[in-house]
Structure 1
Amino acid sequence: MQAIVMTGTGGPEVLVAREVPRPRPAAGEILIRAAAIPVLYPETQLRAGAFPMATPPPVIFGFQAAGEVVEVGAGIAADLVGRRVVVSTDGSGSYAEFVCAPAQNATLIPDEVSAEDAAAAIMSGSIALTLLNTAKLTGSETVVVEAAATGVGSYLIQLAREFGAARVIATAGGPAKIEHARALGADLVIDHRNEGWTDELAERAPGTVDVVFDSIGGTSAAALLPAMTPGSGRMLSYGWLSGAPAQVSAAELIPGGLTLTACAGPAWQQRADGARTDILARVPALASPVETTLPLDQAARGHELVESRRPLGKVILRPAATA
């Protein structure tokens, strides 16, 4: 079968198409024929060496795939064969025509949802649902969604009102993403590429922001505190597109009675995993999550696109066997 092997850490060129043996499911595993493989932003960071790989290279790369179950290992019900699922691997192996994964990491795809849309939505959408549940919105609150045109942010905009937001302020980078955030439902969009965007937000919503969904991190997090509602404002920090987590101290939070919740770690991820079935059920009512579909052997190009941050939707790899 064809697979993409990460030959070392570095640029996208370390992802190389090779012919490798088809895997067999061990006890507790399933084997799927992959139809759609999402290129995830965290994967680009792992490939570049920002974080250690669970299995050092050379290794078949990738963490998620959607497709049809073709074989099950010992202890797994045979009636799963023929069902469509999205799977998460234990750290490698999804950039391939056939993918093995623990059966407990599989989520059934509803009949009305394509494999491509399921693969594109499951990670970002499940995180967005978990963030909204954590925020405990009241029905009258203003929220700020950072980096709102793509990924988790795009789902936060679309779902925020259902979960109790009265007003949605978004940030996005550049005209195309600003327009897309508006189309997704944001009431106000601020360009976070502009110097002083945090001051602009504080001026346009002084002391009235109840929740900040913070994916940028860095020094901008503290700069947003003056915009937050005294006594009840809360920041949910789940990313650091700036390159560093939110640089906020207790001394900065305490005077305003504000809180910061770290949305990360194994317990957090377990909660997000539990939202996967829920987000797949919602996919037909949401904006199409897929922007670009590439052949599996163009995985390096997929990484280039994701790292450029230009796409408004997900980049999906499609094995030749399902093209």
Structure 2
Amino acid sequence: MQAIVMTDIGGPEVLVAREVPAPQAGPDEVVIRAEAIPVLYPETKLRSGDFPLGAPPPLIFGFQAAAVVAEVGRQVDPALIGQRVVVATKGFGAYAEFVAAPADSVVFIPDGLSSVDAAAVLMNGSVAIPLLETATLTGGETVLIQAAATGIGSSLTQLAKEYGAARVVATAGGPEKAAQARNLGADEVIDHNDPTWTMRLRETLGGATVDVVFDAIGGATAAELLDLMTPLRGRMLGYGWLSGAPAQVSASDLIMRGLTFTGCAGPDWLDRVAKAGSAVLARAAAGGLDPLVEAVLPLDQASRAHRLLEDRTPLGKIVLRPAPGVS
């Protein structure tokens, strides 16, 4: 089968198309014949060495894939064979024509939703819904959504008012992404490429404060937002490090303002994310969440897909598709 092998840690060029043996299902695994493989931004960080990789290269890269179950292990219900699903690997192995994954990672794709759309929407929506549930919005609050036009931010922006936001202030990088954030539901959008964007936020608020910050940027910017948050009930949910570092806020920063910070990470958080998958795909099938697919590229263009993501040019998800009928 064709697969994308990460030959070393480095730039997109380390992702190389090769012929490798197809996997067999372990006792508690399924094997799918992949139809759609989402390219996820955290994967670029793993490939580059910014995040630790769970195994040394060379290895078949990738986290998720969508398709029909072709094989099951001896401890897995054979009724899964032929079912349309999205699966998550144990950290690698998804950029391939055939993908082995734990059976307990299976999320069924509802009728009416394509494999491409299911692959594109699952990660973003599965993180956004637990974030919104954790925020416990009351129906009259102002929220700030960072990087609102793409990725997890795009799902947050689509769903925020349904979950109780009264006013959605968003950040996005550049005019095209700002326009997309508005189309997705943001009331006001600030360009976070402007190094003084937190000052622009203060002007936009016009004396009001932010009740909830969905922090995807982290770094020093997080501390600059604290004085713009609602004293005694403002809360910041940290789930991303687009700046390259987590939010630089201390306990004393929060205590003196009566604010809270929730770190949305770790095993318990990931368990919540996994459990949200079925609801996300059902919502997308019903038209309540736009998968925002930017492009579908052949599997052997994985390195090109990573370059596009790192340039932050796409307005939607890039999905890889293995060549049909090849084994």
TM-score (norm 2): 0.97
What is aligned with 2:177?
177
| Whole-angstrom CA distance in 2 between matches of 1:195 and 1:30 | 47
Amino acid in the other structure paired with 2:317: K
Contact 1:15–1:300 (CA under 8 A) maintained in structure 2: yes
What is aligned with 2:38?
38
1:267 CA displacement: 1.1
What is aligned with 1:29?
29
1:104 CA displacement: 0.2
Give the alignment partner of residue 290 of structure 1, picking from 264, 282, 293: 293
1:202 CA displacement: 2.0
What is aligned with 1:226?
227
Amino acid in the other structure paired with 1:247: Q
Give the alignment partner of residue 304 of structure 1, picking from 300, 307, 327: 307
Contact 1:207–1:226 (CA under 8 A) maintained in structure 2: no
What is aligned with 1:319?
322
Amino acid in the other structure paired with 1:68: V
What is aligned with 2:274?
273
Deviations 1:219-240 (A, max 9, x none): 1111111111111000000001
Contact 2:126–2:274 (CA under 8 A) maintained in structure 1: yes
Deviations 1:64-115 (A, max 9, x none): 0000001111111111111010000001110000000000011000011110
1:287 CA displacement: 2.4
Considering only aligned residues, what root-mean-square deviation do their CA atoms show, in Å?
A: 1.1
Amino acid in the other structure paired with 2:13: E
What is aligned with 2:110?
110
| 1:51-66 equivalent positions in 2, closer than 5 A | 51-66=51-66
Amino acid in the other structure paired with 2:324: A
Asked if 1:250 is matched to 2:260, the reply is: no
Contact 2:5–2:15 (CA under 8 A) maintained in structure 1: yes
1:255 CA displacement: 1.9
| Whole-angstrom CA distance in 2 between matches of 1:108 and 1:136 | 28
What is aligned with 1:67?
67
| Whole-angstrom CA distance in 2 between matches of 1:202 and 1:261 | 23
| Whole-angstrom CA distance in 2 between matches of 1:287 and 1:63 | 21
| Whole-angstrom CA distance in 2 between matches of 1:173 and 1:65 | 28
Contact 2:118–2:291 (CA under 8 A) maintained in structure 1: no
1:195 CA displacement: 2.1
| Whole-angstrom CA distance in 1 between matches of 2:318 and 2:204 | 34
Shift in CA distance, 210/322, structure 1 to aligned 2, threshold 3 Å = farther
Contact 2:120–2:291 (CA under 8 A) maintained in structure 1: no
1:43 CA displacement: 0.6
| 1:146-157 equivalent positions in 2, closer than 5 A | 146-157=146-157
Q: Secondary structure at the match of 1:294?
A: strand
Amino acid in the other structure paired with 1:137: L
1:253 CA displacement: 1.3
Identical pairs, percent: 62
How many residues are aligned here? 323
Shift in CA distance, 259/152, structure 1 to aligned 2, threshold 3 Å = same
Larger CA deviation: 50-59 vs 210-219? 50-59
What is aligned with 2:209?
208
Asked if 1:16 is matched to 2:19, the reply is: no
Which runs of no fewer than 5 residues in structure 1 stay unpaired?
A: none
Contact 2:32–2:69 (CA under 8 A) maintained in structure 1: yes
| Whole-angstrom CA distance in 1 between matches of 2:23 and 2:107 | 20
| Whole-angstrom CA distance in 1 between matches of 2:118 and 2:319 | 11
Deviations 1:254-282 (A, max 9, x none): 12211111011111111111101111111
TM-score (norm 1): 0.98
Contact 1:202–1:224 (CA under 8 A) maintained in structure 2: no
Contact 2:4–2:96 (CA under 8 A) maintained in structure 1: yes
1:207 CA displacement: 4.7
Which runs of no fewer than 5 residues in structure 2 stay unpaired?
A: none
Q: Secondary structure at the match of 1:320?
A: coil
Asked if 1:240 is matched to 2:241, the reply is: yes
Amino acid in the other structure paired with 1:173: G
| Whole-angstrom CA distance in 1 between matches of 2:291 and 2:260 | 34
| Whole-angstrom CA distance in 2 between matches of 1:111 and 1:46 | 33
Amino acid in the other structure paired with 1:7: T
| 1:79-94 equivalent positions in 2, closer than 5 A | 79-94=79-94
| Whole-angstrom CA distance in 2 between matches of 1:140 and 1:100 | 46
Q: Secondary structure at the match of 1:285?
A: coil
Contact 2:34–2:96 (CA under 8 A) maintained in structure 1: yes
| Whole-angstrom CA distance in 1 between matches of 2:196 and 2:86 | 41
| Whole-angstrom CA distance in 1 between matches of 2:325 and 2:122 | 20
Deviations 1:17-43 (A, max 9, x none): 111111110101001000000111111
Contact 1:35–1:322 (CA under 8 A) maintained in structure 2: no
1:322 CA displacement: 6.2
Contact 2:32–2:100 (CA under 8 A) maintained in structure 1: yes
